[in-house]
Amino acid sequence: MISPDLIDPSLARFVRMTGLICDERFAYALYDEDLSQSWASEGFSGPAMLETAPSADALTLLQTEHEGVCYGLAFGIYRSPLAAFVVLQSPAELSAETCHSLTHQLRVMQGSVAELQHLSGRLEENVAELQHYQHLYNTVAAVRPLQEPESELPELLSDCSASLDLAGVFVYHNDSRQIFEQVDDAAVFEDTGLSPNRRKGIIQRDLYRLCESSSSAFLLERFTDSGASASRNRLESLNILVAPMLDRQSQCIGMLILVRPDSARRFTRSDCRLAELMAERAFRILQSRYDHATGFLNRQSYRQMLQAELMGLNEETPECNFLLLRLDGLDEAYARGGVDAGLHVISQISALLGKRVRSRDLAGRLGKNEFALLLKNCKRENAMIVAGQILESLSTFTFEWQGEPLGIQANIGVVTLTPRFVTAENLFRAGREALESAREEGAGCAAMFTGLTGKRDELARLSWDHRIYKAVIDRQFRLFCQPIEDANAYRDGVRRYELLLRLRSEGPVVVAPYVFISTARKLGLMNCVDQWVASQAFKLSVLSNPDPSTPHYAFTVNLSEDSLTPEFAGYLINEAERLGVMAESICFDLTEAAAMKNLKQATQFIGLLRKRGFAFALDDFGTGIGAYSSLRNLPVDYVKLDGALVKNMSHDPVSAAIVSSLAQVCRSLGIKTIAESVENEATRELLVRAGVDFVQGFQMGRPRAVEKEFDVYREIYAAQGSAAQ
């Protein structure tokens, strides 16, 4: 006989509790109709199975030919309501009163078993949830050094959103008035009717005001009242959890906001605790952006925010000026009193500078003796006045250590922001040039940047940076394409092309990507470049594939490592849906080095887009020592064999063996291979024998302008040309 524990936990409980009720007065048995199984106590001699089901209303006498008298009752303790029957065997007939009492006891037991089963299920769910949150707790609460603060906050938001199944997660930092966000379900926010700017306003005003009076996480509904603003009332369709970010003095300096649609699972106390832990982690990440001695932004964070200001400059932007202050005499403080003396002087200087900083200005410490101020909406003549006031306050202030005066002096260089600088580093160089001019005039002087007189290389680099910046912003690009042929000539009927980027130039000449890509990456513009290429590829795919059921043309789009983010994946998905692109016609190309640099982020990016039907190719494959591990870790559809290996095949047996080995491994994993740099028929034949699936190179065709290869693209190209002019 099978043990009841192996069939159903509630059945096992029922058998044990029946034994308690029967005591030694009755033998008993339990019958399972569904499983055709029965369980009997010691001394039971009743029937092995019942021919007819007993009543479900009360314990009734059964007509049996066995010893003693048997009474039966139907029970719905698990599965279907009439799946189980209990039979009690008594030496003699029972009175109606006894039968009624036993029926009542069995019914009470039935309810107890059902309740225990329910509680057991809840307990299992809670244990699983606790294990899940314990894992997250260990991840979030782990005290570890911050390696890359600027990338850790987006990673925290991504992990938070994925782990808690959120529509969106936001971090607001009040000191910098910045909002960091990850929105995974834009439709949820669109249903509120609030624009992103209006949403930002609600976060900065309504939600932060509520958060200032709370020291722990809370649900937004706790604060809804008849006096709530109309905008806050429009948030009723959302399930919002807010956790304050507290500094070391328990003052609120920001908040973490978790959002689910109202129809989703409600936030629990465990979610509240986890949100508080994530808010603590976000605080640590944000604090790592500041200089501990002054409270100003550190060099890395200041450079990034200054870069953002430069990128946002246009003709309508109010004039802004950058002040670079350098101290002389700080080394004397360190020499007299060590680090304590140096930090004492720095804190005094930061306090003096803080009095001159408005809430909209940007203050930072760039080095041991360098400070920076960005004065927004401030004309150059006013900036020079502010610089003079700062220098005057420093000269009249008595810096001393242990009663001994310190000779602290300063100079300031002033630079007016223009798009020509392009990068923050260029602005820093201009500031130092102005500083040198100020120091030539003497201590306590300020000077305005007037140009890099006599520094031809610096001027040339600024000019080139500005040219690339303007080209990217104005989309002065041109697309070329190169065919990718099936090694055995179009077996699936799809013509494939790799799309190649070129920069427009004066006359018929175009600029190759290796000339401008490094500058664009340095300027932080690769995301703009990738957006343009992807958008053009989508338009080309729609125009060249009029039949929505089957793609006749497929295009490979190169992406940079800067674009391997969930945000860019969301942009690609939304843009493809807007244009009606067949995902099967697009393959995104990543280099092996870029993918392996941040494997977790690359895998997540690939996964998001492959779910929508897009394909992925791993480029420059075979150049790294970890090539085979790349295949195991990255879910790609194609592998593009490095051109250097392919070119050497005809005269280098080792290269030929490597290509053959890679092709064989890829085939075993279901991955197609593409050989690049195929320049002659002999190399193509070697590749076919090696089992390579596709070939690309001059032997198949040189790159051609897309508008010349595809007539349907000419109108788009003509419109872009007129816009660029």
Question: What pLDDT score does 232 carry?
Answer: 47
118 is written with which tokens? 């329910």
User: CA 270: distance to chain centroid?
Assistant: 23
Q: What local confidence, expressed as pLDDT, does residue 1 receive?
A: 41
User: 251 vs 617, which has greater pLDDT?
Assistant: 617
What does the chain come to in residues? 725
In this structure, what are the phi and psi dihedrals at residue 672, rounded to the nearest 5 degrees?
-80, 150
Cα atoms in the 13 Å half-sphere on the side-chain side of 389:
12
Q: Which of the two residues, 722 and 437, has the higher pLDDT score? A: 437
What is the spatial distance between Cα 534 and Cα 321, in angstroms, rounded to a whole number? 37
Residue with tokens 């048997």: 70
222 has pLDDT over 50: no
CA torsion 510→513→517→518, rounded to 10°? -110
Q: Select from 203, 243, 206 the least CA-distant residue to 224.
A: 206
pLDDT(709) > 80 = yes
Q: CB-based burial of residue 694 (10 Å sphere; 0-12 exposed, 13-18 middle, 19+ buried)?
A: buried
Residues β-bridged to residue 322:
374, 415
Residue 458 has pLDDT above 90, yes or no: no
CB of 108 closer than 8 Å to CB of 114: no
Mean pLDDT of 538-565: 89
Mean pLDDT score, 550-565: 91
Rounded to an integer, the average pLDDT of 376-386 is 89
Q: What angle do CA 677, 678, 681 make, to 5 degrees?
A: 165
Whether 167 has a pLDDT exceeding 70, the answer reads yes
pLDDT at position 320, please?
A: 92
Cβ atoms of 208 and 172 within 8 Å: the answer is yes
Between residues 158 and 64, the one the model is more confident about: 158
Joined together, the tokens standing for residue 6 give 């192996």
At residue 481, the pLDDT reads 93
Model confidence pLDDT, tens digit, residues 312-339: 777 788 899 999 999 888 888 888 878 8
Threshold 0.75, pTM exceeds: no
273-308 confidence digits (pLDDT tens): 888 888 888 888 887 778 877 878 888 888 888 888
Residue 715: how many other CB atoms lie within 10 Å: 11
Mean pLDDT of 560-585: 90
Per-residue pLDDT, 455: 52
- The predicted-structure confidence for 72-111, as pLDDT tens digits, reads as follows 888 765 555 556 778 888 878 888 888 888 888 877 877 7
Alpha helices, H only, 38-166: 96-141, 149-164
Rounded to whole angstroms, how far apart are CA atoms 564 and 603?
Answer: 9
134 pLDDT exceeds 60? no
pLDDT at 613: 92
pLDDT of residue 231: 46
The token duo for 236 is: 């009723």
| Inter-residue contact 482 to 497 (CB < 8 Å) | yes
Looking at per-residue pLDDT, the higher value among 46 and 577 belongs to 577
Name the nearest CA neighbour of 171 among 208, 141, 221.
208
- pLDDT for residue 7: 44
Please say if the pLDDT value at position 178 is more than 80.
Answer: no
pLDDT for residue 595 is more than 80 = yes
